[in-house]
Structure 1
Amino acid sequence: MSFIRITIEDRIAHVHLDRGKSNAIDQQMLEELGQAVVDAQENPAVEGLLLHGNEGFFSAGLDLIALYDYSEDEVRRFWHTFMDVIRKLVAFDKPAVAAISGHSPAGGCVLAICCDYRVMADGDFIIGLNEVPVGIIVPDSIFQLYRFWLGAAKAYHFLLEGRLLKPREALEAGLVDEVVDMRSIRTAAVRQLRKYTQYERNAWRQSKRNMRQQLIAAFDANQTEIIDAVLKQWWSPATRAILKTIIDNLKK
């Protein structure tokens, strides 16, 4: 794999996002992440998954610079892959913890909220779903995932405002579960995984599947219609203009 590093230590699969400094998500990274999740699910020697980013960036979300130049077919393939990978993470029935080691907006936040527990590094970082101000439609299944942790009212307002939260704000809102010093993030994440894995395996996993049943069903539903709406908005002049401005600023 080029952008995902996997190490297995003490029956924990450490899945490291490793695509440049910001871990921006493109097609290849998605495919590799999806395979890593499948491998961890199917490997009987793995009891849990720990999702890591880089110091300063868990993931900056979608790689807008790359996606802007994708063809219509490539963008459609990307969104179908993205929804499929999120579905794999949501349905992963072993314990999963995100070690959010920095900024985690948009797609980075989506990856994190698939997990059972989120430990975020303290500092001048942000997390949240800011797609709407960028001109990207948020699929209902992802809103349901956001609502699962925040509650309906907060998820509704935060999503429509594109609100990004600092670590302590995210903790207060319920978007993350723990805020620690950057030097302690791996230790705190492993400690939480160990809490989960100490329980009787079948009871824990079946309970997780039960509690996520509606979420899984939302991602199992046919995504074609919503992806068509996302793509129609993606190619609209208004969204393309917003994306171009963002990309120009990123390149600077």
Structure 2
Amino acid sequence: MTGSILSTVIENDIAILTMDDGRANALGFAMIGEINAALDRAENEAKAVLIAGREKRFCAGFDLEVMASGPDNVRKLVTAGAELLMRLYEFRLPVVIACTGHALAAGGLLLLAADSRLGAEGDFKIGLPEVAIGMTMPVFGLELARDRLARNRLTEAVTQARIYAPAEAVAVGYLDETAPLATLIEAAKTRAAALAALSQPAFANTKRKERFLTIKGVRETLNADSETFNGANPS
């Protein structure tokens, strides 16, 4: 299946989703909708999911045009993004990301929601710049960061909005490993195949138990916290 901004192919039981909007792969309503549709398909046809971006661009965050179009649209988009992130975070199939370039704001949160994250080596920026651009981090972003980032790097990564190169992003917890851009996708496919071989439903059940407290905290606060989603780009 090929859309204008997302292509999906099933290869060796792996659903490979490639984002390419011709720009920075922003998460707008259309991209979120296409990813959700691709995940629906993956649940029926695949044993693992691999999400990638275009070369040198993974995802630069929520769509700035929507984020500047008024608080109602901001709340709708950020809530839709939060629901997508939580769907990935508790998805019953393994989710692998091939971070093909810059991953900022909601792009960084996508990394935190995945099971395994491989990043391209190079002069790329990875992180959560919200505070640096005057935005308060939503609870769902804080909780994903609290769960997946190194404890001693959490404050600098979130509250101090530090941005990292890929190698340091491994130490901080955004990535699990790096690879040359030319071999990144193949390495990610190998990782996805290894995870796909794990027993189900043991994988899905254990994943949900492992992440129960984070999921519970996000679900309990999302509606109330959505009232604060009114900035130019909160994630």
Specify if TM > 0.5: yes
Q: How many residues align?
A: 231
Task: Give the conservation status (yes or no) of the 8 Å contact 1:143–1:155.
Answer: no
Q: Does 1:218 align with 2:220?
A: no
Distance 2:207 2:51 in 1: 18
Distance 1:75 1:150 in 2: 26
Q: Does 1:173 align with 2:172?
A: yes
Instruction: Say which SS state the counterpart of residue 76 (structure 2) adopts.
Output: helix
Q: Mind listing any 5+ residue stretches in structure 2 that lack a counterpart?
A: none
25-34 vs 6-15, greater mean Cα deviation: 25-34
Partner of 2:37: 35
TM-score for the superposition, normalised by structure 2:
0.92
Task: Indicate the structure (1 or 2) with the bigger Cα radius of gyration.
Answer: 1
Q: Does 1:61 align with 2:65?
A: no
TM-score for the superposition, normalised by structure 1:
0.86
> What percentage of aligned pairs have identical amino acids?
28
Partner of 1:46: 46
Partner of 1:82: 81
Distance 1:103 1:144 in 2: 22
Partner of 2:131: 132
Task: Give the conservation status (yes or no) of the 8 Å contact 2:150–2:171.
Answer: no
Instruction: Say which SS state the counterpart of residue 154 (structure 1) adopts.
Output: helix
1:103 CA drift (Å): 0.4
Q: Would you identify which runs of 4 or more consecutive aligned residues in structure 1 move more than 4 Å?
A: none
Instruction: Say which SS state the counterpart of residue 192 (structure 1) adopts.
Output: helix
Distance 2:195 2:155 in 1: 30
Of structures 1 and 2, the one scoring higher in RCO (CA 8 A, sep 6+) is 2
21-30 vs 218-227, greater mean Cα deviation: 218-227
Q: Measured at CA, do residues 82 and 68 of structure 1 come closer, stay the same or move farther in structure 2, by a change above 3 Å?
A: closer
Task: Give the conservation status (yes or no) of the 8 Å contact 1:83–1:219.
Answer: no
Q: Deviations over 1:40-81 (max 9, x none)?
A: 23x1x31000001010100111222x1244233222211221
23-32 vs 102-111, greater mean Cα deviation: 23-32
Instruction: Say which SS state the counterpart of residue 22 (structure 1) adopts.
Output: coil
1:16 CA drift (Å): 1.0
Which residue type is aligned with residue 11 of structure 1? D
Instruction: Say which SS state the counterpart of residue 163 (structure 2) adopts.
Output: coil
Q: Deviations over 1:145-202 (max 9, x none)?
A: 1121213342222111111100111112222111110011011111111221222222
Q: CA RMSD in A?
A: 1.7
